[in-house]
Amino acid sequence: MTKNKNIKTVKNENNSGHGVKKKTIGDIVIYIILGLITLISFLPFWHILACTFASASDVRESAFLLFPKHFTLSTIKYVFASKSITQALLNSVFITVVGTLSSLIMTALMAYPLSKPHLRFRNQIMFLIVLTMVFHPGMIPNFLNVKDMGLYNSIWSLIIPGLIGPYNLILIKNYYQSLPESLLESARIDGADDWRILIKMIVPLSKPIYATVGLFYAVGYWNSYLNAILFIDDSNKWPIQVLLRNIVLMAQTDLGSEAGSVFEMAIDLQSLRSATIFISILPILCVYPFVQKHFVKGIMLGSVKG
């Protein structure tokens, strides 16, 4: 009995010794480099945050503000009091929410039959899908297509043309193929059809890939800029990115000095630009932590099986 205890003690000591890894000089150098890269990447965001809550005098006096001397909420209050900015935010929220849900539903429905090896013309359909990733039709054909569909100067022109992304479709299709076929066969034996299998079994098992692809779609819709410039003339239908671009250009040119009557001169254009940038990236920052746990799992499982 004593001999067995001594053997266990020696094993535990060996295991604990193997578990401790000494930090080498190379590891320390890598940590320092990664820390510097993280700091450099974070500094521009911190500068935007500081300018958002700093007074106009602090922003004018400092070329790269990091710590405001006078904390104020006047710029944030002005942003939410501005009808044009709030309308642009509402437009972006509508485009992102409706577009992401619609794209997820349509992509999931299209990926299900394509994940079945016995589907007729499956390879030909996948070839056409991949072809759209390699050869883009271009700006003018897209514009003519949207105009012929009657979507010009409509918010739906930012949703319907990009409803199904080829890359996201392939991710979901591959994820469906990674699910155990025996599980689906047992449901068919019990009399379940394809719709019941998709809704009752595949959808609950596909939350990781849905969260991953949903984040891709949401970021794309929220950052929609070029299509909004091409397809929308009415400024009341602009998303926040287009309005932000106009504010940034105004702050960087001589037009900023002539905009006193518009921005009331109590609000510095640099502060207004920073506040608008901060508000435009805040929703994505708030959504990302909720899908982060599914992100790596979904992207890995959706890209393994081809």
Whole-angstrom CA distances from 52 to 56, 78, 221, 277 are: 10, 11, 25, 9
Are 237 and 153 spatial neighbours (Cβ–Cβ below 8 Å)?
yes
Are 192 and 200 spatial neighbours (Cβ–Cβ below 8 Å)?
yes
**DSSP annotation of 71:** B
Confidence band (pLDDT; 50, 70, 90) for 296? low
pLDDT on residue 268: 67
Q: Which residue's structure tokens are 């602090």?
A: 58
**Mean of the per-residue pLDDT values of the chain:** 79
Q: How far apart are CA 287 and CA 291, in angstroms?
A: 7
pLDDT on residue 292: 67
pLDDT on residue 104: 94
Written as one letter, the residue type at 110 is M
Helix, strand or coil, per DSSP, at residue 65: coil
Domains of the chain: 2-52 (no CATH), 74-304 (1.10.3720.10)
Confidence band (pLDDT; 50, 70, 90) for 96? very high
On the question of pLDDT at 101 being above 90, the answer is yes
Instruction: Quickly count: other Cβ atoms within 10 Å of residue 268's Cβ.
Output: 22
Q: What is the pLDDT of residues 211-223, one digit of tens each?
A: 889 988 998 899 8
